[in-house]
A and B are shown apart, each in its own frame.
Chain A
Amino acid sequence: MTITDAPKILTARLDRYADAHTIARYEETGGYQALRKALTTLSPGDVADEVKAASLLGRGGAGFPAGVKWGFCPPGVWPRYLVVNGDESEPGTYKDRLLMERDPHQLIEGVLLASYAIGAAQAFLYIRGEMPLAHERVAQALNDAYAKGYIGRNIMGTPFSVDVVLSWGAGAYIVGEETALIESLEGNRGMPRLKPPFFPAAKGLYLQPTVVNNVETLSNVPWIVSNGAAKFTELGADTSKGTRMFAVSGHVKNPGVFEVEYGVTTFRDVIMAPVYAAGVRGDRKLKAFIPGGASSPWLYEEHLDLPLEKVIVDKAGSMLGSGAIVVMDETTDMVKACLSVVSFFAHESCGKCTPCREGTTWLRQILERILAGYGRPSDIDLLMDVSDNISPGLVWPPKQTTICPLGPSATAPTASAIRRFRHEFEAHIDRGMRARGEQPPPAQAVAEPAFAGRDHGGLE
């Protein structure tokens, strides 16, 4: 096992102190010193350079380097805005809420440093609606930080001025997608915009250059500014530097949110080690695990020794996504697990694109009928066919016939479950047919994909 004694960047304070959310505790433990250092000794460009040198990968799902993203704002176009994505709702994901509830000042200091680095005229901190405690803690933290002169006009007596506005959602997973979040912040239905042209860095909030970053991403920034990029890149491996929070849930003995060294720690470590999730519940066998939230293709026992490293997991055909590991033991009905994830996407599709709106609904209905015992032998290929219409070829990284990646995400569980556990689908269908007095077809080896080489109208 590779359990390292890397320092905790994000959770050290909240691990140690029950009152980590108060400004008194935050200041006492070095809080707002990174901001002071920046405003007294560093230029905005210096802060941006430091974060770029740290190669801090975004923690919201796509894993794009934050420093590089900050550099995408077109020169000479003002104002720029900063939008903080606190909409955490990808199934399996639980870490941003913890950071907002338990250490809101760390996030706020990160927001201020990012605003300084990019030249933001105003910052908007968007919290998921279903998180009133996070909202209360962040509101209190903002009020206290304003009173102390850390936010607002002439911060710490310097010319740097920026308001941080708390905003909140009202229940819609898709609003976590950055362009949908921007629509929501403009007071609209939270439906994604087409990229291009609406890349936030070019045309974001009110069509101005906008940087959207995740809560965990920005919570790293005070540490990077205080300790320097070099200290940050000492931790981690390859492309994945620093530490990262992973929520391990499902069939494990000790589910929890663990901050581990990024790029080095393996799936086996976080799932099996006694200090982390402590192994599969009841010492049963592991059947599969979701490595990076509901949108990620499933991985299996043979992947346990992969390090939690972005590029390595990408190459293995999945992703670390939002740092959400969901473990399924040998008793799991994979058709049911598949339906659970597919239903989520069907419910949360915003309805803008036909393949996603109709496809996810059909996937759900077919899976429901299979589980209810009314499946047809042709249904398994039909599931793959519908999935292929949403994401041509069912390859990784997924191709897209839709405006945003939600539609293709819904094909990940279906393709994963059918490729690995086709016999479980067949068993449900056979059971239903026998119950109705029909004779199931003899088992046959089916070569996938049944739709290979089909014309997708130039979409591939």
Chain B
Amino acid sequence: MARLTTENVGVAKEIISRYPRPKSALIPLLHLSQEQDGYVTEEGMQHIAELVGVTPAEVLGTCSFYEMFKLEPVGRYVVNICNNVSCMLCGSDELIHHAEQRLGIKVGNTTPDGTFTLESVECIAACTEAPALQVNYRFFNKVSTDGFDGLIDDLAAGRLDDDVPAHGTLARVRQHIPDDRRAGSIPPEGQTEPAWMHLNEPPASADGGEPS
């Protein structure tokens, strides 16, 4: 299971239809592939290339730039501890050290049972809640070492399954534009001024070209 499923191909086509150029859908589609398989597979990238009309190398080129795309399997839970300045000032070094001890792995590795991957990451925009971490990109704020142990216990026991889906799943709500409401994606070529550009202008200037 590495090409997109029939259902996901449907989702992919809807995403592609929202952009003026299919290639613009690449990042969302790579996320879709990672949601399906937990990481981005070669077959997944090949399938995306077919859907978008670029080469598989171009898909890999984009994919490999972005930190969130994993080209190899990772744990069910990816634990990202922020190491940036606000968190560092509030003790993230100790937290990371503690996490390594508790999970028995160094940063960048996955526990042998495939449950946890530990990463030390750049700012996650939770600076006022330092030290902060994310599990599969769900936020946990002001995490003490004891708090970390409790979190790991809860995750391992499945007590947080509702809040923290398996790695790969990001938003659980997708945008959907109903056909009868769609204004349409507008390609860059062959366009003129939008018809509504002079709405509510006084009649005298209604024919007056560019608004300043």
Given the complex of chains A and B, what is the CA–CA distance between A257 and B130 in angstroms? 13
The secondary structure that dominates the A interface is mixed
Size band of the B side of the interface?
35 or more
Given the complex of chains A and B, what is the CA–CA distance between A170 and B33 in angstroms? 13
| Residue in contact with A146 in the complex, picked from B61, B83, B178, CB distance below 8 Å | B178
Contact with B along A428-439 (1 / 0, CB 8 A): 000000000000
**A282 at interface (Cβ–Cβ under 8 A)?**
no
Also in contact, A152 and B181, with CB within 8 A (given A43-B200, A97-B125):
yes
**B67 at interface (Cβ–Cβ under 8 A)?**
yes
Given the complex of chains A and B, what is the CA–CA distance between A420 and B83 in angstroms? 24
Given the complex of chains A and B, what is the CA–CA distance between A324 and B85 in angstroms? 11
Given the complex of chains A and B, what is the CA–CA distance between A116 and B145 in angstroms? 50
A160 touches B27 (CB 8 A): no
Give the chain A neighbours of B193 by CB distance below 8 A.
76, 78, 119
Also in contact, A153 and B181, with CB within 8 A (given A132-B137, A168-B28, A247-B128):
yes
Also in contact, A163 and B185, with CB within 8 A (given A78-B192, A340-B84, A341-B85):
yes
A159 touches B196 (CB 8 A): yes
Also in contact, A129 and B31, with CB within 8 A (given A44-B199, A161-B196, A251-B89):
yes
Q: Which of these binds chain B: A134-142, A260-268, A376-384, A395-403?
A: A134-142
Could you list some 20 contacts between A and B, CB below 8 A?
A42-B200, A91-B122, A93-B125, A94-B128, A132-B171, A133-B139, A143-B173, A160-B196, A160-B199, A169-B66, A170-B68, A186-B21, A187-B25, A187-B52, A190-B65, A247-B128, A249-B86, A294-B123, A340-B84, A344-B123
A130 touches B175 (CB 8 A): no
A153 touches B170 (CB 8 A): no
User: What's the tally of chain A residues with a CB closer than 8 Å to chain B?
Assistant: 93
A161 touches B85 (CB 8 A): no
**A310 at interface (Cβ–Cβ under 8 A)?**
no
**A65 at interface (Cβ–Cβ under 8 A)?**
no
**B71 at interface (Cβ–Cβ under 8 A)?**
no
Quote the shortest CB–CB distance from B23 to chain A (angstroms): 4
Quote the shortest CB–CB distance from A317 to chain B (angstroms): 19
Quote the shortest CB–CB distance from B190 to chain A (angstroms): 9
